Amino acid sequence: MPLGSCFTYILCNASHRVLYVGITRDLTRRLEQHQTGTGGVFTRRYRVNKLVYFEEHPTAPDAIAREKQIKGWTRERKLALIETTNPEWEDLSVQLLLLR
């Protein structure tokens, strides 16, 4: 991955039982892939396509480090992170479209 802005993000399924942490350069495109079932086997199998958290990083290595950090956390800590900025668990993909 070349240097440049990158996102760390968390998706969940409709019941909020399954969480997925990932990184991407183009969050809008990546969300479209997850929502159409072309984003990956795990997200397709568990229907994980609701954006509940994201943060932007200046470089890909920063985003990768943050992804690894979050993936190492307990589920409870991930839930607390989501709820700091999105207590209602709204789908933030609409908000993301407004930022474009």
Q: Report phi then psi at 19, rounded to 5.
A: -115, 150
Evaluate if residue 99 carries a pLDDT over 70.
no
Whether the Cβ atoms of residue 25 and residue 1 lie closer than 8 Å to each other: yes
Q: How confident is the model at residue 2 (pLDDT cuts 50, 70, 90)?
A: very low
Could you tell me the domains of the chain?
6-99 (3.40.1440.10)
pLDDT: which is higher, 98 or 95: 95
User: For the segment 19-50, what is each residue's pLDDT rounded down to a tens digit?
Assistant: 999 999 999 999 999 988 888 899 889 999 99
pLDDT computed for residue 7 by the predictor: 96
Evaluate if residue 97 carries a pLDDT over 60.
yes
- Token digits of residue 18: 């399954």
